[in-house]
Amino acid sequence: MNRTDRLLAIVIQLQAKGWQRAEDLAAVFEISKRTIYRDMLALMESGVPVISSPGQGYALDAGYFLPPLSFTADEATVLLLGAEVMIQNFDDQYRRAARSATSKIQAVLGDNRREEVDALLDGMRFIAQNPLEADQPERLQTLRRAILRRQSIRITYHTRHRQDVLAGDQTVREVDPYALAHIDQSWYLVGFDHLRRAVRYFRLDRVDDLNLLPRHFLRPADFQMDERHSNDRALQVSLLFSPQVARWVREERYFFVTAMVDQPDGLRVTLQVRQEQDVLGWILKWGAQVRVLEPASLQQRVLAAAEAIQTVYR
C-alpha cells in the first residue's frame, strides 16, 4: 500500500472505529509506530482535524467526515458478503484487498444503517468447503500475472481419465492463459492448450510445475468467459435417473449437464462432453440408479467398467 492510500485508510479507520492507539494502527497497517506518528503529522498538516490524547491515541474531530457514499442495507450487505467470499476463496493479496474494502464500506454507513446491515449479516454465511492448498495462492498470483501480461505458461497436468480406464495420467502442456474461473468450489484455468489445439479448462489442483514462458500471445477478441460448454464438447450423452435419486442429481449441478427433464419413469439428463471418459466416473458413482440411453458405445463402456468392478470382489 503506498503512502497516499494508507493516509486515506487511516482516516477511514478513525472514522469507523473512533479512538485508536498508535500501536493498534501500526498492527492494522503492518508498519512501525514511528511511521504512524509521521502519518498523523502529515494528516494534521494537510488539514485533517486529528486530535490526540495520552493513553487513548488518535481520533477525528467530531464534526469531520469524508463525503459518504450512499448504500441501502441490501446493497451494503451484498458487498460485504461478496468481500467475505473473496476472503475465503482468494490468496493473501486479494484477501487484504477484500478486508480493506470491507472497512471502507462499514466506515461510510451511519450508525442505524450499520446496525441493520450487521443484523442481516448475522443471519447469512458463505463457507468455503475446500480451502486453498498450500501452494495454490502462489499459483493464483502467477497465473494472474500471466493473464495480465498475456504470457504463455508450461504446466504438468494430471488428467482424471486415460483412454479406456479411470486411472489418471499426466502430460506437459503449453497454455495461453485467458482467465481464471471458480466453479463448484474449485479453481480452473481457462486457456488455449497448444497440445489439443483448443480452449481447455484446467483444474488448478491438478496442475504441477507451473512455469512462465518467454512468449506472449493475443487473446481472441471473441473469447467469452461464460461459455463453459465450449464448441469442442460435441458429444451428447443422455441418462435416465431413477425417481429415488432425482432430487440429489439436481442438487449436485454437475459441470457437463445442459438439461434436466422430469419424466414418468425418472429424470432425463442431457450432458455435452468432449469424450465418454469425461462422464464415466460420474455415471458409475450412481450405480444401479442410472441408465445410459445414448450413445450405445457409452453403454458398453459402463458395462465393461461394472464387470471389472465385479472381478475385484470375486
Mean pLDDT per block of 10 residues along the chain (314 residues) reads 84 84 90 92 88 88 65 80 76 80 77 79 69 68 91 90 58 94 81 91 88 94 66 84 94 86 95 88 93 95 92 87
Residues 184 and 209: beta-carbon distance below 8 Å: no
Which position has the grid cell 471473441? 222
Chain centre to alpha carbon of residue 13? 28
Residues 249 and 241: beta-carbon distance below 8 Å: yes
Residues 199 and 192: beta-carbon distance below 8 Å: yes
pLDDT for the residue 226: 58
**H-assigned helices in the chain:** 3-17, 22-29, 33-45, 73-89, 92-107, 111-122, 136-149, 246-252, 277-285, 296-313
Angle 123-251-244 (CA atoms, 0-180°, nearest 5)? 130
All structural domains of the chain with their residue ranges: 3-60, 73-122, 136-216, 235-313
User: What are the φ and ψ backbone dihedral angles of 167, each rounded to 5 degrees?
Assistant: -65, 150
235-313 CATH pick, 3.30.70, 2.60.40, 3.40.1130, 3.40.720: 3.30.70
pLDDT digits (tens, 9 = 90+) for 83-123: 887 777 677 777 888 888 888 777 777 777 778 888 877 77
pLDDT for the residue 174: 96
C-alpha 94/C-alpha 75 separation (Å) is: 21
Q: Indicate the pTM of the whole model.
A: 0.55
C-alpha 294/C-alpha 297 separation (Å) is: 8
pLDDT for the residue 162: 52
CA neighbor of 236 nearest in space, from 310, 184, 171, 295? 295
CA neighbor of 204 nearest in space, from 308, 33, 306, 90? 90
pLDDT for the residue 128: 62
pLDDT for the residue 141: 85
CATH class entry, domain 3-60: mainly alpha
- CATH 2.70.98 describes domain 136-216: no
pLDDT for the residue 229: 44
Chain centre to alpha carbon of residue 249? 23
User: What are the φ and ψ backbone dihedral angles of 51, each rounded to 5 degrees?
Assistant: -115, 150
**C-alpha Rg value of the chain to the nearest Å:** 27
Residues 192 and 175: beta-carbon distance below 8 Å: yes
Query: How far lies 53's CA from each of 13, 19, 57, 64, 250, in Å?
Result: 17, 9, 5, 17, 61
pLDDT for the residue 63: 65
